[in-house]
Structure 1
């Protein structure tokens, strides 16, 4: 039986029914024999599942061949201890994102493009059971009273789940996987995401404590690029990071990592990014790195950049550099800024010296689109200068004279 036939077999209703029956059999055996398999070593669990599945197939006289039996053993183990049908996708290092749109529609992102995954769930309850298993070790839950949840797996992967009645077509799960090994400058050069002159320029700017922001859309690689930039911070500097979900991996001896906290079940005791940025200012940092500015912490980040914490960095959702500047002004308004427009732009110009725009192209490739210097105000307008600009039509990076 070929791999395609196995995948079709796994997607069939017949197989889903069989897998559910085997899972119930395994649970019954564990409960009847009072087994604590969660404390067993992996090889012992593997043997137990294989023995029980083979015994069940023989006792029920099921028409299952060797390849189908191996698939059933692997899936039964994943149902018992892992994340069910998506465990193989979680284990696949080439998969960047896993998206579950109800029980029968599972997609993955690989190489910047979405593909349908050859797995499925039995029904809505099956999806919710896997979601609960993902969230349980994290101390989080999702139910009708709290139908949406954001969480982070121990390896740093981000998880979002939303269930009915909010999700009309069944429970949805999104996992943005965290790379085990951060991308290096060599990786980005090899993939064509950046050129050597751009890398050299950015490295020099990081080492000379230039305040910068990385802007781009969802999935454009902002955090990945921020990780790269932070790797060039000289050793010996004290760095404080602030994130909603701790994704940055700084290979420095002197790093303090802070993470926001959502409200509890009573809607209280939340710790926001603004709270953490304010606290970071009191922790004697040389640099502050905010994973993403998305709310009222923008004013405190600008203050940090303006008050001796040179070389601080952050990311921002925006389609281009100009939109990023406008979004900072908008967020400042949401944060309660009541001063004049020119005064705010003066603060922005004094705080931010460099803007790196990254984007995901139609091919799925992530690319540095421009590196721009913010050169102050001309009248009441911010003056931007492209040091490097990527032209998608020609695929050429156009360098320009830097100040």
Structure 2
């Protein structure tokens, strides 16, 4: 039997409140011998009872007390007060409706508090499926043509239909079910992305992984955890995938069971369905920040130190060709996005991507996106086709989202033929392996070039390799900034400029502990800038200078 009811933004709370000022575990209602008490746990927003700030524990609460948390107002009703209680029963939390422009909080009853979270989730899924089936039936009866409606009209029409269905057929819902939340979930599943809507709105969630309709994992602060929300069935997951890919002109079916796409906010989506996916449709969403990230954000995240940021800004402005390398999920595209925004506004930039993710702000910008083949297997436009075409568009710089194959050769040739300052990313575990990956990708172009020629092309085209690493704790750090200094005895020479030395993983919350240090090597182009009289700070390369 539960003696405590959590309040906060986290899915594990019995009372879930939304908002940036609400903490994951903001407060808690506790059953004591003499009644119900409220305890403040954390959060930017104060917990108030009848206008008074609650510092720690306050109570016992009566039904006349008004509990305020941000824009939410709660009323706690003890259904079995101490003078009449024969056994411990948690309280009911009733809601005082906020104004129309404020968030709506959730109502939790005594039976909800007594039930296990898993049981509540299963029960909510069952009722959601019933209401959704009734909604579809009602749409069929009324012959609602959803394809001819705009988003706003479709949403308002569906809301009215849901309200009518619930009032007519589901007036006897159990107390454990919140009517308004159930209506929202049915609406999201009918015309939106279902349970993914709330996860997409949660800024603390950086990645969403749907393994099956009843198994959704999320990434928070670099850590993966299982979400308490789920889809009703596989059909609901398929519907969500179709709503994502259809507006982009992409398709997904048994003949083409895999697709890369993006959401309106730029988040990257990969979906795969049966017969390739054995456990049902699967979705992977890598969310992008709702605001444009800047160089100072790298400092805030601890991804690098000020001297490294100053060096990278100068390298981009001085038209160095840069390859951003790293493993899957290390933040290569995010770093590429930030570096791209250091490009001067008077440069003409052409971006080339498989699925558009970059958000550049330069006024003279052309963004290109690859296209998969149509149902007849025709009409495919590859990254390589776009790189070749970009050379005819008079670009000052070319930014390729990621080199995976033969387009690496075209990218290197572009870097060698007057498009200095170009940027791209590549999968690799360290800077030396990045060079090996580039060699393999050039060979994938089908051009039977001698390895000596390939390495000379790479050595003359690439100036810097910026390697980003994701550590077990979830931290993402620029572990190497290395300069390609040339080729000697058939081997490409690398010189590390900055390094991150990881000392241990015993820091706060298990975070990696280490420091950023300069190796003492001064890159050749900095020496040339100094000779030209450009005001550059050579002290950032002082040996062992910690950041």
* TM tier, smaller: over 0.9
Residue 28 of structure 1 deviates from its aligned partner by 3.1
Aligned to 2:340: 230
Residue 100 of structure 1 deviates from its aligned partner by 0.6
Tell me if structure 2 keeps the 8 A contact 1:356–1:371. yes
Residue 17 of structure 1 deviates from its aligned partner by 2.0
Residue 328 of structure 1 deviates from its aligned partner by 0.6
- Give the one of 517, 529, 533 matched to 1:398: 517
Q: How many Å separate the matches in 2 of 1:24 and 1:135?
A: 24
Residue 402 of structure 1 deviates from its aligned partner by 1.2
Check if 1:55 corresponds to 2:55. Answer: no
Aligned to 1:190: 300
Larger Rg: 2
Check if 1:26 corresponds to 2:135. Answer: yes
Aligned to 2:490: 380
Inter-CA distance 244–233: structure 2 relative to 1 (3 Å threshold): same
Q: How many Å separate the matches in 1 of 2:391 and 2:431?
A: 27
Aligned to 1:314: 424
Q: 3-state DSSP class of the match of 1:115?
A: strand
Tell me if structure 2 keeps the 8 A contact 1:242–1:276. yes
Residue 20 of structure 1 deviates from its aligned partner by 1.3
Q: How many Å separate the matches in 2 of 1:124 and 1:284?
A: 48
Check if 1:69 corresponds to 2:179. Answer: yes
Q: How many Å separate the matches in 1 of 2:416 and 2:170?
A: 72
Residue 125 of structure 1 deviates from its aligned partner by 2.4
Runs of 4+ in 1 over 6 A off after TM superposition: none
Structure with greater proportional helix content: 1
How is 1:334-373 mapped onto 2 (pairs within 5 angstroms)?
A: 334-373=444-483
Residue 143 of structure 1 deviates from its aligned partner by 2.1
Residue 43 of structure 1 deviates from its aligned partner by 8.1
Output the aligned Cα RMSD.
Answer: 2.2
Q: How many Å separate the matches in 2 of 1:185 and 1:10?
A: 46
Q: How many Å separate the matches in 2 of 1:171 and 1:47?
A: 27
Q: How many Å separate the matches in 1 of 2:327 and 2:118?
A: 38
Tell me if structure 1 keeps the 8 A contact 2:349–2:366. yes
The superposition leaves residues 229-263 of structure 1 with CA deviations (integer Å, 9 ceiling, x where unpaired) of: 11111111111111101111111110011111111
Q: How many Å separate the matches in 1 of 2:153 and 2:365?
A: 35
Q: How many Å separate the matches in 2 of 1:236 and 1:302?
A: 23
How is 1:162-241 mapped onto 2 (pairs within 5 angstroms)?
A: 162-241=272-351
The superposition leaves residues 313-365 of structure 1 with CA deviations (integer Å, 9 ceiling, x where unpaired) of: 10001111011000111111111232322221111110001110001111111
Inter-CA distance 10–221: structure 2 relative to 1 (3 Å threshold): farther
Question: How many residue pairs were aligned?
Answer: 401
Residue 2 of structure 1 deviates from its aligned partner by 5.4
Structure-1-length-normalised TM-score: 0.93
- Give the one of 159, 162, 172 matched to 2:269: 159
Aligned to 2:197: 87
Check if 1:329 corresponds to 2:447. Answer: no
The superposition leaves residues 351-383 of structure 1 with CA deviations (integer Å, 9 ceiling, x where unpaired) of: 001110001111111110010000001111111
Structure-2-length-normalised TM-score: 0.69
Aligned to 2:499: 389
Residue 194 of structure 1 deviates from its aligned partner by 1.0
Residue 148 of structure 1 deviates from its aligned partner by 1.6
How is 1:76-155 mapped onto 2 (pairs within 5 angstroms)?
A: 76-155=186-265
Q: 3-state DSSP class of the match of 1:392?
A: strand
Q: 3-state DSSP class of the match of 2:384?
A: helix
Q: How many Å separate the matches in 2 of 1:198 and 1:396?
A: 12
Tell me if structure 2 keeps the 8 A contact 1:213–1:356. yes
Check if 1:294 corresponds to 2:414. Answer: no
Q: How many Å separate the matches in 1 of 2:327 and 2:214?
A: 28
Structure 2 residue ranges without an equivalent (≥5): 8-12, 17-116, 504-512, 524-547
